[in-house]
Each structure stands twice: as structure tokens, then as C-alpha cells.
């Protein structure tokens, strides 16, 4: 009997006590106990219905401090260091400026008009003076046409760092101006008609860069930045 009472839950014990208080077969001497029990019964019932507080699990690192998460409950991620890449060197266009091509085209047009007019004069009055002047104008027109044809060739010359890239007629060549193992020869002075630069290649003929592809003065300034030992050679 005693073991059965010990195994009862607090809720069943309170129910039995409440039933005893409401029964009619109680002794009159228990009035005081009845009043005290009626006063304490609601408090006991409320206490029995409350659940035990959840046990807070310890932190993974065994610390006793507060949670490392922020107000929103999200864990704060540690900052990740991003690799820093050096900026690429700028690319310099060394190709012949379009303005020079337009000037040559205008000179070619003007020479052609004057040559046609002089040819008409020489045809009407075929003297030595008119024929000689017509011949000079024809030679000048041919020279302008040759210069225009050389400058209108699709050639792109760009310098990125020390690498010179030349794209011409669908072919692409790259030369490292800072590589002293690759000889470079400059023939003539800027402004000479036969000015050119030779890039020597092992087992191949030298690559020729002339004034129709780059501006000589601008190219030499870029070349001497990486190869100050390169000097002019006689033609």
C-alpha cells in the first residue's frame, strides 16, 4: 500500500486530496486541516502543471560566456582574406595615327587633280615645259599613292609592359623588348625613307618594322625605355 502511494504522480495525489475535501465522511476535528488544504491546493496544482525548464547545453568550446551569435541568432562568419592581384600594365598603341593617313590621302587627291589638269594643258600645247611639268606631277602623284598604300595597310602595333605585339595581314608576332638575348637593330634615323627596325629571330629571317607600321620617333622612345643600349646603325 505504501509503495503504491509512493509511485503515484503529484497530479493523482492532488486529485485524491481534492476528492477527500469534497467528501461528506470526514471527521469534524479536521476542519482546520481542511481550511489549510483548500488554501494550498490551487498553488500545488499550478506548480505540478509547470514543466521543468530546458537544460541549456554547454557551448561547444566549453566556455561559460554568452552565445557567440548575434541578436538575429546567425553565427558571425570570420572574414576571409582575398588575394590581391597586381593591375595589368596599360597597353600603348604605337600604330600609325589615322590623321597621317588622312593627310596622305588628301595629298594624293590634290596631286591627281593637278596632274590631270597639267596633262590636259600639255596635250593642248605639247611644249618641253608643259610636258616636263606634267611628268613631274605624275611622279609626285605616284609617290603619294605609294605612301597612301603603305599607310592604309591594316597593321596594329601595341606595347603592353615590355611585350610588343604586331598584327599584320592576319599574322601575329610578339617580341619581348626587355629580353637582351633577342638582338634588335635600328637602321637609319627617324624621317629617313628607309628607316626600319630588325628583330632578329633564331633560325628565322629578321622581322622588319618600318615607318608604314609605326611612328618612328614614338617607337624609339618606347624601345629605349626597355633597351637603352640600342643605337642607330648605318644603312
* pTM (two decimals): 0.44
CA–CA distance from 42 to each of 16, 39, 184, 235 (Å)?
14, 7, 106, 119
Of all residues in the chain, the percent with pLDDT exceeding 90 is 21
List, for residues 32-73, the tens digit of each pLDDT value. Answer: 465 556 655 555 555 555 545 545 555 555 444 445 445 554
Measured CA to CA, the distance from residue 185 to residue 175 in angstroms comes to: 13
**Residue-wise pLDDT tens digits, 110-146:** 999 999 998 998 888 888 898 999 899 999 999 888 8
Q: Which of 177, 181, 170 is nearest to 219 (CA)?
A: 177
Amino acid at each position: 500500500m505504501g509503495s503504491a502511494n509512493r509511485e503515484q504522480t503529484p497530479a493523482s495525489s492532488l486529485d485524491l486530496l481534492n476528492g477527500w475535501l469534497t467528501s461528506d465522511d470526514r471527521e469534524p476535528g479536521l476542519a482546520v486541516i481542511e481550511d489549510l488544504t483548500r488554501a494550498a491546493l490551487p498553488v500545488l496544482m499550478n506548480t505540478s502543471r509547470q514543466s521543468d525548464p530546458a537544460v541549456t547545453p554547454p557551448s561547444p568550446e566549453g566556455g561559460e560566456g554568452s552565445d557567440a551569435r548575434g541578436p538575429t541568432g546567425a553565427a558571425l562568419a570570420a572574414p576571409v582574406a582575398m588575394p590581391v592581384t597586381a593591375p595589368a600594365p596599360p597597353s600603348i598603341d604605337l600604330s600609325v595615327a589615322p590623321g597621317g593617313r588622312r593627310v596622305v590621302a588628301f595629298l594624293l587627291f590634290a596631286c591627281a587633280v593637278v596632274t590631270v589638269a597639267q596633262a590636259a594643258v600639255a596635250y593642248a600645247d605639247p611644249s618641253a615645259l608643259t610636258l616636263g611639268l606634267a611628268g613631274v606631277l605624275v611622279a609626285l602623284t605616284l609617290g603619294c599613292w605609294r605612301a597612301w598604300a603603305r599607310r592604309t595597310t591594316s597593321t596594329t602595333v601595341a606595347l603592353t609592359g615590355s611585350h610588343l605585339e604586331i598584327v599584320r595581314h592576319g599574322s601575329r608576332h610578339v617580341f619581348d623588348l626587355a629580353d637582351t638575348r633577342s638582338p634588335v637593330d635600328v637602321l637609319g634615323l627617324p624621317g629617313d625613307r628607309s628607316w626600319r627596325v630588325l628583330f632578329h629571330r633564331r633560325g628565322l629571317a629578321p622581322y622588319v618594322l618600318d615607318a608604314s607600321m609605326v611612328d618612328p620617333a614614338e617607337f624609339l622612345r618606347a624601345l629605349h625605355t626597355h633597351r637603352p643600349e640600342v643605337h642607330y646603325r648605318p644603312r
